[in-house]
Amino acid sequence: MANCLVAQSGGPTAVINASLAGVIRANQLNPLYDRVLGGLHGIEGTLAGSLFDLTDLSGREIEVLKQTPSCALGTCRYKFSDEADFRRLIDVMDENDISTMFYIGGNGSMSTVAAMTAWAAERNLDKRFIGIPKTVDNDLGLMDHCPGFASAAKVACEITHATRMDYDAYTRPEVFVLETMGRDAGWLAASTCLTGDVDLLGDSLGVLFGDSTEVVNLYASDAYMEMAKMEQQGSCYVVVSEGARWYDGTYLSANGKAADGLGHAMLGGAAGRLKSMIVEAGIVPRCVVQDLSRVARSSNFAMSLVDLEESYDLGVSAHMRSAKPEFTGQVVGIRRGRGVDGGYNTCPAADLANFVRPFPSEWILPNYQGVSDEALDYFRPLIQGEPKLICENGIPVTMRPFNRR
């Protein structure tokens, strides 16, 4: 038998390592491959030949790996397109007798899966590439939801409720602004409305947001500039996504011309910008900002049991489906509900590559004062359950990252 390769890419999540654990454990139970090799720092490290043998992890190590947030193999944001990259990856696979590569990631990673599949097919190479999804943005199409999103949403909800309780303890006039990740898809920001604590949702902050084509000038928006809730109850709790845009379509928080390795704008600071606008407009003399950013995506203290189980199962499913020689260029995904197939399906990686599924604009309430019952019904089942974590000295045990060994 040949070996297989597993690598991780893009932003970390609380459950990305559960999918990795699923591939490893599945091969221990049904050895389709001699060795399971991990590519350190995604495709970038793999091209450099940086691999780690994961085959013989113990049962306890796999359980700890499942509950470990972030990327245990290390990650990257690397634009894979040069002919030399294609050839180098095949060389690394040949040098290590690798027939199949599992790539865990988001839109960009699925683009790599699609590109490598097409490149290998054109040259009649016996190499296979399979995608396993993850993203806190929840913006991958052709599946009900994405692994990693539910746990990030659960953390965001808990922090929303905790900070709202703290905020409500005071009588002084101020606006509270919570910023979430999720880029401009808007799912993560919208999920905080599950708590019932959000007065105004910054998914449409004077902006093009979600799949809305509505253009609203922030300074002309009654919902924001009058801060209706301030007048009614003397307080206003706002949640804004890092990907909020100005009315002309530019990001509220884009860091100048800075971009990551895939050319995406580097976001962050939308809440701070909004704070300045609120204070400068004279709405209130004080505005408090809370930035969730990385704490929501790489925390396991509020991990969703549903999310953890689905992520692990997708790793197992990808391995199982790879038993069929023709299974390549595909991504395993999640259906809503569980049927005879366990609630999982597959779709071509090419159909997901660099495609963004936005939060439906019809799920946003008038004047951006929350989301619809349909949206709440979508979110609620995803954050259910709390995994029983292995703890030592009062905190969850985590795996020492393989890229740090």
Give the residue numbers marked as catalytic: 137
Q: What is the 3-state secondary structure (H, E, C) of 327-360?
A: CCCEEEEECCCCCCCCCEEEEEHHHCCCCCCCCC
How far is the C-alpha of 230 from the C-alpha of 237, rounded, in Å? Answer: 9
How far is the C-alpha of 93 from the C-alpha of 85, rounded, in Å? Answer: 12
How far is the C-alpha of 163 from the C-alpha of 356, rounded, in Å? Answer: 30
Q: Residue 278 — φ and ψ, nearest 5°? A: -65, -45
Residues 6+ apart with CB under 8 A from 377: none
Q: Are 258 and 269 in contact (CB under 8 A)?
A: no
3-state helix, strand, coil in the chain (%, to 5): 40, 15, 45
Name which of 151, 187, 5 is nearest 69 in CA terms.
151
Report in angstroms the alpha-carbon separations of 239 from 117, 282, 302: 40, 20, 19
Q: Give the pairing type, strands 36-39 and 3-8.
A: parallel
**Helix 83-95 crosses helix 107-122 at what angle (to 10 degrees)?**
80
Name which of 181, 196, 76 is nearest 139 in CA terms.
181
How many Å separate Cα 396 from the centre of its chain?
22
How far is the C-alpha of 28 from the C-alpha of 43, rounded, in Å? Answer: 24
Q: Residue 321 — φ and ψ, nearest 5°? A: -70, -25
Q: Which two tokens stand for residue 3?
A: 């070996």
How far is the C-alpha of 226 from the C-alpha of 207, rounded, in Å? Answer: 17
309 CB burial (10 A radius; 0-12, 13-18, 19+) = middle
Compute how many other C-beta atoms are within 10 angstroms of the C-beta atom of residue 179: 28
